[in-house]
């Protein structure tokens, strides 16, 4: 074998060695890819399993909330009228009246009366009770509506001279029972005018 043959063998060996080295690296990479895909598939399967009932539950929740919205919107409009209802909504949630009521498409075009300026703040506070009770708790839109510690001071202003006392003399409480001085005939119809029993005595007599 000549020198050329030796060089040929060396070249072939080099090529084969390069092919083997790179193919081994590729095999290792492919194994890592397989492992990674297994992890990814497991995660995706978990996601699918966990999210399977979400659609049904959320749809059910939305259906229930829709029924609640229909109920409350209908009740508010039937009791307050569409115009005042929008004014009340605007007073409680400024800017909400522009969106209108879902079941009353015309409500968005109504010019809401300024109920928050016509009625006192206390009226709106009462209206807010359902959302922000207890009233003294921090409102999501600002400070508490009522001072819990000194809330009674406002009521005291109704009696600037002090709390009025009771009358000098009050009628005595009636005596009840079988020995009561005034007795009525139990056979008489309940709710009708009642007459005293014949054996009874009047209060003045006693």
Partner 1 sequence: MILEWIGDAVLIVVVLPIVVYLLRGVLGAATGIVASVERIAAAARAGSADLDAAPLLLTTRERVVQTIEAAADYGGSLDVILDDQREP
Which parts of this chain interact with partner 1 (CB under 8 A)?
A: 2, 4-5, 7-8, 11-12, 14-15, 18-19, 22-23, 25-26, 29-30, 32-33, 36-37, 39-44, 46-47, 50-51, 53-54, 57-58, 60-61, 64-65, 67-68, 71-72, 75, 77-81, 84, 130
Q: Which is nearer to partner 1, 45 or 148 (CB)?
A: 45
What is the dihedral sign for C-alpha 190, 192, 197, 203? positive
Q: By the 8 A CB rule, do 83 and 112 touch?
A: yes
Tell me the closest approach of the beta carbon of residue 9 to partner 1, in angstroms: 10
Tell me the closest approach of the beta carbon of residue 136 to partner 1, in angstroms: 22
- CA of 75: how far to CAs of 88, 123, 125, 132, 186, in Å? 13, 19, 20, 20, 45
Tell me the closest approach of the beta carbon of residue 28 to partner 1, in angstroms: 9
Tell me the closest approach of the beta carbon of residue 124 to partner 1, in angstroms: 18
Helical spans, DSSP H, in 81-120: 82-92, 115-118
Q: Which is nearer to partner 1, 81 or 151 (CB)?
A: 81
Q: Which is nearer to partner 1, 127 or 197 (CB)?
A: 127
- CA of 31: how far to CAs of 21, 22, 24, 44, 101, in Å? 16, 14, 11, 20, 59
Q: Which is nearer to partner 1, 83 or 180 (CB)?
A: 83
Tell me the closest approach of the beta carbon of residue 31 to partner 1, in angstroms: 9
Phi, then psi, of 177 in degrees rounded to 5: 115, 180
Q: Which is nearer to partner 1, 103 or 203 (CB)?
A: 103
Q: By the 8 A CB rule, do 143 and 121 touch?
A: no
């Amino acid at each position: 074998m000549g020198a050329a043959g030796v060089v040929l063998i060396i070249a072939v060996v080099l090529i084969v060695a390069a092919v083997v080295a790179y193919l081994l690296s590729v095999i290792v990479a492919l194994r890592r890819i397989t492992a990674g895909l297994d992890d990814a598939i497991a995660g995706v399967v978990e996601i699918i399993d966990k999210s399977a009932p979400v659609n049904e539950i959320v749809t059910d929740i939305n259906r229930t909330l829709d029924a609640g919205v229909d109920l409350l919107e209908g009740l508010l409009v039937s009791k307050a009228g569409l115009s005042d209802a929008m004014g009340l909504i605007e007073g409680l949630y400024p800017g909400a009246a522009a969106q209108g009521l879902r079941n009353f498409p015309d409500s968005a075009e109504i010019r809401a009366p300024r109920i928050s300026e016509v009625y006192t703040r206390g009226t709106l506070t009462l209206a807010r009770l359902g959302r922000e009770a207890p009233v003294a708790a921090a409102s999501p839109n600002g400070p508490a509506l009522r001072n819990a510690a000194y809330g009674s001071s406002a009521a005291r202003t109704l009696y600037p001279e002090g709390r009025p006392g009771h009358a000098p003399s009050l009628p005595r409480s009636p005596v009840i029972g079988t020995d009561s001085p005034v007795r009525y005939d139990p056979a008489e119809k309940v709710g009708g005018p009642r007459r005293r029993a014949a054996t009874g005595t009047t209060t003045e007599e006693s």
